[in-house]
Structure formats: C-alpha cells, structure tokens
Amino acid sequence: MSFTNEELAVMDSIIARYPKSRSAIMPLLHYVQSIDGYVTARGIETIAEKLNLATAEVTAVSTFYTQYKSEPVGEYHVGICTNTLCAIMGGDAIYESVCDRLGIKKDQTTADGKVSLERIECNAACDYAPVVMVNWEFYDNQTPASVNNLVDAIREGNPPAPTRGPSTLRTWKENSAVLAGLSDGLSEEGVQAGAPSLLGLNIAKSQGKK
C-alpha cells in the first residue's frame, strides 16, 4: 500500500527545509514511524525515491540509530536506562522488576500491544538518575515501585504526565511525528530544565560568572 497524497505532501514539506535533500533522511524516518509505527520497507523505498538515494543508504541510517525500529513496538515504548550511574542508582532493579510485571524482556511487546520495553545506554539525564523514558518523555528519579505503577497506569489507559515536558503523555506514533519536526503545540508545557540541571549555571551566576 502506498502512502496517501497528504502523507507524501508532508514528506515533501520536510525535505524542503534542507538545502541538501539527503539531510531529511532522519526526520523522514521519524515521520514514517509516525504513520506505520516502525520503519517499514515501503517507508525506506519511498524515502530513497524522494531523496534520489539507494535504499541501502536509507537502511544504513535506520539501522544505525536505536530510535528507529525495524519491528513494531508498543503504543507506549518504555526505555529504562541501565548505564553506569542509573544502574548504580537502581536502573537494573527497575528493569528486572518491570520485566516481571509485564512478562516481557527487552525488545518485546505486551500481548495487548500497549507497552514495549528497551534497555537504554544513556538518557542524557544523569542528574535525575535513575531515569526512565516513555516515548522519549522523561520520568525522573524512579524506583521499581513507581515504574510498575507507571506501566500499570499506561495499560489501564491513564498514563501519568511526564516529570518534565508536556502535561500529557503522547503515543509512540504521535511523538514520532514531533521528532519528524511536526509541532504538537505542546513545546511550552511543563518544566523544561529542572533545578538539578541548572545547578552549575546558578552557582556560576552567583559568583558573577557568565
């Protein structure tokens, strides 16, 4: 099945942002995920055709970055950081607890299609360790109990708001569209940079440094 004319037009608008069309590979891959839920063969073929590239070039990008998925994931994709600091602070315990709660392991999805699970090397939020992300939204300072409550709420259809960012947790497809550069109108919602992230800056300012 081909993409609709409207979807193809959105792809063209994404490409038009860049002086060199091949620079649109990554946002186009996110856009394909916002439609299909993962990077499909038709997505790769369409992107390659639009950018005048070989499908192998598009595939190389899609398989290099872990944000692009070659298989369907859950409506809510949970990434648990188990890199050094988060692991020390409880990331490994969170991962094991959630696996038991959901009955799945990494790169698997619950039977209802609601939740999939991934071990992530780093969420770039060490000041809030241990950190969990759902559809790339932050849930900071987590514990096994809090993450079990989080996935329970998701499966019940009542996902809690992220710790930082928008006041509503959007689905995997919806946030993939945002990563493609399509605005959801929520960029000004919620806390952006919390106190731990700004601590060094505020100390510098208090000492008269710029």
- Whether 94 and 132 have beta carbons less than 8 Å apart is answered as yes
DSSP 159: P
* Confidence at 210, pLDDT banded by 50, 70, 90: low
Phi, psi angles (nearest 5°) of residue 199: -60, -50
- Look at residue 197 in the predicted model and tell me its pLDDT: 78
Here the tokens at position 99 are 């696996």
Domains of the chain by start residue, with CATH: 5-64 (1.10.10), 76-171 (3.40.30.10)
Radius of gyration of the chain (CA): 19
Tens of pLDDT, residues 130-144: 999 999 999 999 999
pTM of the model: 0.90
Three-class DSSP category at 82: coil
